[in-house]
Each structure stands twice: as C-alpha cells, then as structure tokens.
Structure 1
C-alpha cells in the first residue's frame, strides 16, 4: 500500500517573530516581568502565541528575542535569533522603526519602502503597531523599535538582497505572518486539488495568483468567492498544464510585476532561484512598442523589474500592459488546445492594477 506523506508543517515569518519580540520588550519597558510567552494577531485576525527565548538590554531599552521556526520550509532564516529592542520615543512620534545589526537598509527605489528606510516591510510594521497598540490599551505608544537578527549580514549573502539594493542584512518579511512549507510536489498537488474543487462546484471563473497581495486584489476586482481562488505561487506551469487537461470556463492569472515578466518571457517556474527576468528582453519589448528614445537603454541597466517599472511609470509608459500581454501569450499557448477564456492581471506591491490583458499584443 502506498504510504501517504505527513502534511508539511507551517512556520512563522521573520515579521511574526519580530512582532512577538517587540511586544515582549515593550511589556518589560512598562515594568512588567519578562513574559515567557506573548500572543500576537496575524493579518488574518487570528491570535497566535510565541515563546520568548532570551532577554537582555537595560530597563530603559529592554531587548527580547524569539528563535524563528520556519516549519518544514527550507528557509535560510530557520533557527535565526530575531531580537527587538524597544525604548521610549519623543512624544507624538508614534512607533519609529530602526534597523539593528543583521537587518538591512533600502538603498534603491522600486521596493515597498523608499531608500534610506530599514528593510522592515509594511505588513510586519503593521503587525508590530497592532501588537503594541493592543498592549497599550488601544493607544499607539511613542516608542523606537529596533529589530536585529543574529548573523543576519552573513545570511543575507545567500539571498537576492544585494541585487535588490538592500545592504547590511536581511529583510523583515511576511504578508500573512505564516511561512507556507515549500515543496514542489505538495504545492502542485494542492493546485490540482484546487482546480478540481472549482470544477466540482461548477464555478465559471477561477483566479490563480502568485501571492497574497495579487490574490486579494484580484478577488476584490472580480468579486470572487474564496473557493474560486488558487494559490499558484511560483508554479504557473503546474497550474496551466493541469487546466489544459481539466479546463475551466474562465481563468484569471494575477501576479506581481516581476513574476508576470518572467512568465511573459516563457518561464513557467517563477521562483527566484530557478528563473530570472531578462532585462535586455524587457528593454526590447518596450522599444518595439513605442518607448521614448533612451528609455529602453535605461530599462536594460535596471537591476530589477520593479525599478524598471518605476522608471517607465515616471515616463508615463505603459510597461505593465505590455508585461500582461506577453504573459497572456505564454499562458494561452500553454493552455492550448483547451478552450479557456483567459485574462492576466499585473499588480504592484500595494495591490494596484498596473497591467491587464485578455488577448495577444496588438501588432
């Protein structure tokens, strides 16, 4: 009899760990005994409990630490010590974020935060604000929150941070607070099951997204029920090839600028370790479709698609629509000969629709 593999264990993002450490340190700053555990609220609204592993610092600047548990995901930060130091801030300043040792600083445009800011992403910042406000009887405290990761600068060398313009360490990440275990076979299997459920429900329209932001934005755009949503992740090929043989009436593909660019360039596996966006090809695409003189050359020198998109936006050039059309071409070819009505949605990091296509590029 075939043995069924046990389900993969989920873990916690660096953002969740930093939130727990920040709340514990803030409680100590208020004169409480260092707690062994604290609870925090995830973006979904669910409350979860974390254990604290270490305290240090001073009464005026206590530091609490959480060891990151990434579950069964092969995350380089699994087991890393995430520390948070909290000190009183200037009256009326609210919560101010600082990068401590092992946490990077943003130096290039195109990321969710401007250059000069610590690489603490918007969702973790929001989680920390929520946690400290809850602990302060509903009032946002005036505090400075400094996040550090032991050996973060060394760990960051194994990431794309340097290429993205994040220097000095890792990013504090997470859009859901939860790390989904990364297994190609398990994830693709879940994609297939999601398609099967949608077909069994008789749904006319299914939306497959590369991530949480594009999924929520696409769902809101079309008013789709949760059962119509497929967590495609990086596995565009796994989704499209399955739908080719198990068609649905209508499929929307939703994703960020970089991943949709890679799909449009023929990549069916969108993971950063297994595919790269071709900036020369992106520049050629812009040149072929009316980009102002000099802009394609600038696109070609951009280190990331996000930076190229920001550049073209400043020139009022619709790069997002071109990316959407190219992604539509590749997806439509992969779906052939299934008769599936297809459209592609490209969103920025804020969930704003910046590109859409329901057919091939006009000649």
Structure 2
C-alpha cells in the first residue's frame, strides 16, 4: 500500500466514513454487464470490475434489458458517506455491436452531457465521459470480448437518469458541458469529503477560460463575490472560477497555466486568512487570526485601544467594523496583504493580481491595486 493510500485508509478508519464509487466505476460495471449479456445472453449480477488501483468491487444491477441486438444494464451510484449530488443516481449503459475495426465508440445517453467548449480533456462534440472512465470501459470490453468470443467493436451509450437536472448543481453548464452530467473518476473510488473533485473543477475552469481566449479570470469564494466581480468588471460566466475555500488550488494552477490577470474576490474574513498565509480557507482548516488583524490595523493608524479591540473581536467582520468606525482601512490592508501572498505563490508567473474583499451583503469593504 502506498503512503497516499495508507493515509486515506487511516483517515477513513479514524472518521468512520464509508467510501463510495465514482460514476466512471458505475458506468464500467454497467458496460461490462451489458456486453457480457450481449455476447452470452446472461447478465452477471453482481458484476465485478477491476479499478485502476487494483480494487475489485462488485456492483448489483438495477436494470437488465436485452432485445433487438442491444443490451442495457443499470447501476445505482453509491457515493458512500460523501455528500455527492450524484449519490443514488441510476447510471445506465447500453451496448450494441459494431462492424470490426470500429473499436469502442462512446455516445451520450439521456442525462450525460456533451462538450461544447474547448479546453477540456475531450474534443468539442464528444460525450462527457472522461478519459479514465473511457479507458476503464475499453479495458473491460476487451476482457469480455476475450472471454466470450466477441470482437470488442461496440457502441457504448452512457446515460444517467435525471442527469440533466442534477447537472444544474454542478460546474458543467459553466464549463460548456450541456445536457447532463460528466462521467468522472480517476481511481473509481469516492473519498468522503475529498477536495479532489472541486479542485479538478477549478483546473478545468481555468483550461476552458484560456481556450476561449479570456485574459482576465476571477477566483471567487461564493455567489456573492461572483456578483461583485461581474458588477465591477463585466466578466462573463466562463471567466468565473468557483474557488470556494481552495485559494491555493487556483494560484498553483494559474502559476503553471498563466492568465494575464487574476482577480481574487471573497468575504473579508476568508481573505484575511489568505493575507495571513493560509491557502486553504475552510473554517475547519484555518482560522481568522485576530492578532494578525490587529497588527495590520496598527499599520493603518490604529491606536493601541483599537488594536486591542480588534484582537479581542468575536469575528473578523466585527474587527473590520471597529476599524471602519475609526477610519482605519483594515479592508484595504487585508486586500493588499492577500494580493502579496497570492503573488508569492505565483512565484513570478506573468499574472497580474488584484484582490477585492466583500461583506456578507456583497458590499466592497477592501481592495488592492493591480500588481
């Protein structure tokens, strides 16, 4: 067991959280069962597959249909204890034979999206079945063909019941994946409360913005900050990155894939964490440092009484309000410090950065210049 896998296993054992299976693993299981039935007349139930890291989970079938030269199998996705929007979704895969030489051809069924913008790891017009699930399905099709005397030349149509509606709660519309969900997964396993899916969406958002020729993108901590940067700069949706708490993920990816200008916009308290050097802004992994805010307030002209009030404030926003009442520009000081931290992470990449801090109503309470 690798160090990474050992750490993950230890984490899950410690928390008691149950892992689950990706849509890609479910689609692979369904495709395997469907092609087996197409060649043999019988659906294996449960159907066992091999994941990229060697695990061999078994999946119960929820759908079995065999008629008119086509076999369809369905698997209900179990995301374990992760709050995944696709938990409980029915992944359906239909398989029909193609003439020799066609290989494995993928189609989007109902509820699976189609790529409409460049910059993703799939060509425009392709069904949103990501590269690793495609490879997994292809490998299992080949194994079934070898076991049952097939050619392995098939059309694989992947769908997800109610996928178009579920996709409205994902990044897909913003990334130009229209009509439904993406079939995802690089390991086949869903790790509860994993950051990987969100960070991967951030990266794909940068890729799509660059491919569309955008020179200015914004990393935003939420919908309020998104509205602010749209009002400030008129940025289109394709240029907005739903950064959430993962400021470091945005900065590190933009460092490797530079865009001319990056605006970071978010709540004052969250961006005070970035200003203090934290790249993960989640409340469970970093805290607002009121002593640090007090030091900034002193730099902005606060006397010792105000600095002490800031240090003792219940919240970052309360510290900000105290400074606003005395004319100390704590919001601007946080924005400048956050910008400077962002530039240090970018390590000289050709990216100009500015930072905007907002309160809960979306009012701008601090900003930096572009540097």
TM tier relative to shorter chain: 0.5 to 0.7
| Aligned position for 1:166 | 177
CA 1:305–1:128: 2 relative to 1, 3 Å = farther
The correspondence for 2:277, drawn from 311, 334, 337, is 334
Determine whether 1:121 maps to 2:56: no
Determine whether 1:11 maps to 2:16: no
| Aligned position for 2:299 | none
| Aligned position for 1:104 | 113
Deviation of the 1:274 alpha carbon = 9.3
For the residues of structure 2 that align with 1:21 and 1:123, how far apart are their CA atoms?
16
Q: State whether residues 43 and 64 of structure 2, in contact with CA within 8 Å, keep that contact through their aligned partners in structure 1.
A: yes
- What TM-score results when the alignment is normalised by the length of structure 1? 0.56
Determine whether 1:141 maps to 2:152: yes
Determine whether 1:358 maps to 2:342: no
SS at 1:30 equivalent: helix
CA 1:44–1:22: 2 relative to 1, 3 Å = same
Deviation of the 1:45 alpha carbon = 2.9
| Aligned position for 2:86 | 77
SS at 2:37 equivalent: helix
For the residues of structure 1 that align with 2:43 and 2:237, how far apart are their CA atoms?
47
CA 1:25–1:256: 2 relative to 1, 3 Å = same
For the residues of structure 2 that align with 1:257 and 1:106, how far apart are their CA atoms?
12
CA 1:153–1:301: 2 relative to 1, 3 Å = closer
For the residues of structure 2 that align with 1:36 and 1:58, how far apart are their CA atoms?
18
Structure 1 stretches of 4+ moved >4 Å: 257-261, 264-267, 272-281, 321-324, 330-333, 359-363
In structure 1, runs of 5+ residues without a counterpart are 188-209, 213-232, 235-254, 285-296, 307-317, 338-342, 345-355
For the residues of structure 1 that align with 2:58 and 2:98, how far apart are their CA atoms?
27
For the residues of structure 1 that align with 2:228 and 2:260, how far apart are their CA atoms?
14
Q: How many residue pairs end up in the alignment?
A: 248
CA 1:119–1:94: 2 relative to 1, 3 Å = same
For the residues of structure 2 that align with 1:211 and 1:143, how far apart are their CA atoms?
32
- What TM-score results when the alignment is normalised by the length of structure 2? 0.55
Higher Cα radius of gyration: 2
User: CA RMSD, aligned part only?
Assistant: 4.2
| Aligned position for 2:246 | none
Deviation of the 1:18 alpha carbon = 0.6
The structure with the largest helix share of the pair is 2
The correspondence for 1:66, drawn from 56, 59, 75, is 75
Determine whether 1:303 maps to 2:238: yes
Deviation of the 1:55 alpha carbon = 0.4
Structure-to-structure mapping, 1:1-363, within 5 angstroms: 6-58=15-67, 60-137=69-146, 141-182=152-193, 211=196, 256=203, 258=205, 300-301=235-236, 303-304=238-239, 320=258, 334=277, 357-358=346-347
Deviation of the 1:358 alpha carbon = 3.4
Deviation of the 1:82 alpha carbon = 0.8
CA 1:275–1:58: 2 relative to 1, 3 Å = farther
